[in-house]
Amino acid sequence: MPPLSPVRLRVALSEDLPALPIIELAAGAVFREVGMGAVADDPVPSENDLLPHVEAGRVWVATIDDRVVAYALAVTLDSRAHLEQVSVDPEHAGRRIGAALIDEVERWAHTRGDDAITLTTFADVPWNAPYYYRLGFRPIDTPGPELAAALDHEKRRFPGFARLAMVRPVRGPVRP
Q: pLDDT by residue (tens digit) across 22-39?
A: 999 999 999 998 888 888
Domains of the chain: residue spans and CATH: 7-169 (3.40.630.30)
Residue 16 to residue 67: CA distance in whole angstroms: 9
pLDDT at 80 over 70: yes
Q: What is the pLDDT of residue 172?
A: 67
Give yes or no for a contact between 12 and 71, defined as CB atoms under 8 angstroms apart: yes
Residue 1, pLDDT > 60, answer no
Q: What is the pLDDT of residue 98?
A: 96
Count Cα atoms within 13 angstroms, Cβ side, for 28.
Answer: 16
Cα 162 → chain centroid:
18
User: Over 90: is that where the pLDDT of 127 sits?
Assistant: no
| Residue (of 139, 134, 136, 108) closest to 121 by Cα position | 139
Beta bridge mates, 86 = 72
**What is the per-residue pLDDT for 21?**
97
What is the mean pLDDT of the segment spanning 46-71?
Answer: 97
- What pTM value is reported for the model? 0.93
